[in-house]
Chains A and B, each alone.
Chain A
Amino acid sequence: MASIEEQSKGKSDGEIRYLTPLDIETTAKKRFCRFKRAGIKYVDYKNPDFLMEFVNPQGKILPRRLTGTSLKYQRKVSQAVKRARHLALMPYVGDLLK
């Protein structure tokens, strides 16, 4: 009995080796909301060049964790992108930035 406890205790004291390294350093790039910083209040759906930065090469809207925009402006961006798609200023699906 004791040995089992020792084993369990010993393991917890000793360094527990996992298969994969525990702390995976993701490069924590400081992200900021460009709309707050630039003070832009309205996302215009009429110039597709600006909206291309929020869309991946396939034409899909990038998530906030990549672009770093705040929730309020991410909604405006997604609405503007959808309007631009409706007006054929931007493709629904496409390999545009390739």
Chain B
Amino acid sequence: MNHYETVFILNPVLSEDQIKETVKKYEDFLTSKGAEIVNKENWGLKKLAYPIQHKKSGFYHLFEYEVEGSTIDPLEVMFRRDERMMRFLTVKLDKHGVDWAKERIKRVKSSKS
């Protein structure tokens, strides 16, 4: 079971529930493959550093999960097929990355509370 982290950007023209539905779709796909989602973050609407598909902003989402290595390929195929998705990046976390992610969750929680 490897530790992965996926960040993806959704089209800004989507409505609120379309976004929820898309995020839900990928979440269900992951849990159906036996993934354990450690952390989910929604950075909301952010300005892009450069226009992607002539759009200036996008909805950022972060998934951090543990899953078998074999499920990443079909997941990325789904990402590519989904036209609501502007960009995605899946990163395998090594042990330093995992520690960093844990601290980051603590930091985000402490700043929020």
Binding site for B on A (CB under 8 A): 41-42, 44-46, 48, 83, 85-92, 94
Contacts and interface: CB of A to CB of B under 8 A. Distances in A.
A46 B63 CA distance: 13
Contact of B50 (A41, A44, A48, A92): A92
Contacts of A87: 7, 9, 60, 87, 89
A91 B60 CA distance: 16
A51 to B, nearest CB: 11
Contacts, number: 38
B87 A86 contact: yes
A8 B48 CA distance: 68
A43 B68 CA distance: 25
B48 A88 contact: yes
Interface stretch (B18-26, B28-36, B74-82, B91-99): B91-99
B104 interface: yes
Contacts of A91: 49-50
A44 B100 contact: yes
Given A83-B89, A86-B89, A46 B49 contact: no
